């Protein structure tokens, strides 16, 4: 502001303005949601001007650090909180009679590239096999089975490894790198999500099969709000910064439109110009 606009403004004032606008955006969101829910039935559906081939909503959780407000200078009672992130995407799509990509893509054979559930599968293979070549062969076998919709085979093999490794002792504190704990966690993850891992059907229907867009969204939000040196006050302040960040990275101009049209004091010069224009 000082360099570009020759406007002197303090960090505290910027923080206050950002919080105020973020709180307004949150209140507007709640009001629009309440209006939609409370409108009489049947509700009028919104018709897209250009209907997309495929509309998808990707959701994932992120993290930010918050602290207790109104405690004086400094950071008081710092702790992590989870953020809820969602993005709406317009996608191009077409369906197929057969699976258009039954073979595991080369990108998932790259030892430097992992995504869910690849991370779980590789971690389990690493816990079972001390030899690097053996663990990589195991990973490729399991991840190919998942890709081809045979996740039940992977679960069965993991359960077999659980029997070989032995049960976890009850009540004992288990190290996070204990192979028994890792294999159990992987088997549980795959079992809980097997109904959502029918990747051949998704590909035949022209649907997305990875969480990459959701992961990217979390990183875009976290780039501004997450960091060991960043703390947001619990309550409205944390929600406000998330609203502003979401508006900044959105593909529309919602933040600019809101700032141009947001309610202001009747003594503001902008408000007086609006009143004069309306009276004319």
3-state SS, 83-152, equals EEEEEEEEECCCCCCCCCCCCCCHHHHCCCCCCCCHHHHHHHHHHHCCCHHHHHHHHHHHHHHHHCCCHH
In a domain, 153, yes or no: yes
| pLDDT value at 274 more than 70 | no
In a domain, 9, yes or no: yes
pLDDT, tens digit, 9 for 90 and up, residues 12-28: 888 888 899 999 999 99
The per-residue pLDDT for 264 is: 67
Regarding whether 156 and 67 lie in a shared domain, the answer is no
Question: Mean of the per-residue pLDDT values for the chain?
Answer: 87
Residue identified by tokens 């509700």 is: 43
pLDDT, tens digit, 9 for 90 and up, residues 56-74: 999 999 999 988 888 888 8
Count of the separate structural domains present in the chain: 2
Higher-scoring residue by pLDDT: 175, 270: 175
Regarding whether 181 and 117 lie in a shared domain, the answer is yes
The per-residue pLDDT for 45 is: 79
Regarding whether 166 and 112 lie in a shared domain, the answer is yes
Q: What range defines the domain where residue 12 resides?
A: 2-39+51-93+227-279
Mean pLDDT of 134-161: 95
Question: Worst-scoring range by mean pLDDT, 140-149, 159-168, 220-229?
Answer: 220-229
The per-residue pLDDT for 57 is: 93
Contacts of residue 265, Cβ cutoff 8 Å, sequence gap at least 6 = 271
In a domain, 144, yes or no: yes
The per-residue pLDDT for 279 is: 55
* pLDDT cut 90: percent of the chain above it: 49
In a domain, 217, yes or no: no
The per-residue pLDDT for 155 is: 97
Regarding whether 81 and 116 lie in a shared domain, the answer is no
pLDDT, tens digit, 9 for 90 and up, residues 92-105: 999 999 999 999 98
At 268, which helix (H) or strand (E)? none
Regarding whether 191 and 116 lie in a shared domain, the answer is yes
How many angstroms separate the Cα of 68 from the Cα of each of 80, 184, 235, 236? 12, 37, 9, 12
Regarding whether 200 and 144 lie in a shared domain, the answer is yes
Regarding whether 245 and 266 lie in a shared domain, the answer is yes
In a domain, 211, yes or no: no
Residue 123 pLDDT grade (very low, low, confident, very high; cuts 50, 70, 90):
very high
Regarding whether 137 and 175 lie in a shared domain, the answer is yes
pTM for the complete prediction?
Answer: 0.73
| pLDDT value at 210 more than 90 | no
The per-residue pLDDT for 194 is: 93
**Contact present, 125 and 138 (Cβ < 8 Å):** yes
Residue 107 pLDDT grade (very low, low, confident, very high; cuts 50, 70, 90):
confident
């Amino acid at each position: 502001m000082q360099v570009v606009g020759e406007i002197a403004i303090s960090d505290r004032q910027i923080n206050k303005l950002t919080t105020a606008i973020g709180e307004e955006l949150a209140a507007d969101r709640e009001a629009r949601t309440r209006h939609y829910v409370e409108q009489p039935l049947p509700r009028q559906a919104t018709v897209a001007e250009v209907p997309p081939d495929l509309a998808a909503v990707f959701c994932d959780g992120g993290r930010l650090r918050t602290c207790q407000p109104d405690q004086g200078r400094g950071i008081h009672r710092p702790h992590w909180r989870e953020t809820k992130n969602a993005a709406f995407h317009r996608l191009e799509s077409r369906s197929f009679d057969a699976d258009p990509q039954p073979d595991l893509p080369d990108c998932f054979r790259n030892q430097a590239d992992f995504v869910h559930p690849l991370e779980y599968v590789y971690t389990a293979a690493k816990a079972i096999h001390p030899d690097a070549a053996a663990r990589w062969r195991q990973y490729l076998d399991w991840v190919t089975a998942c890709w081809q919709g045979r996740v039940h085979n992977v679960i069965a093999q993991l359960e077999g490894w659980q029997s070989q490794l032995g049960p976890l002792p009850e009540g004992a504190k288990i190290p996070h790198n204990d192979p028994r704990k890792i294999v159990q966690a992987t088997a549980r993850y795959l079992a809980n999500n097997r109904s959502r891992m029918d990747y051949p059907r998704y590909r035949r229907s022209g649907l997305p099969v990875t969480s990459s867009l959701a992961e990217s969204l979390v990183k875009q939000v976290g780039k501004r709000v997450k960091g060991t040196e960043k703390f947001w006050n619990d309550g409205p302040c944390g929600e406000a910064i998330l609203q502003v960040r979401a508006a900044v990275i959105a593909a529309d101009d919602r933040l600019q439109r809101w700032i141009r049209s947001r309610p202001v004091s009747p003594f503001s010069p902008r408000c007086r110009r609006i009143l004069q224009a309306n009276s004319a």
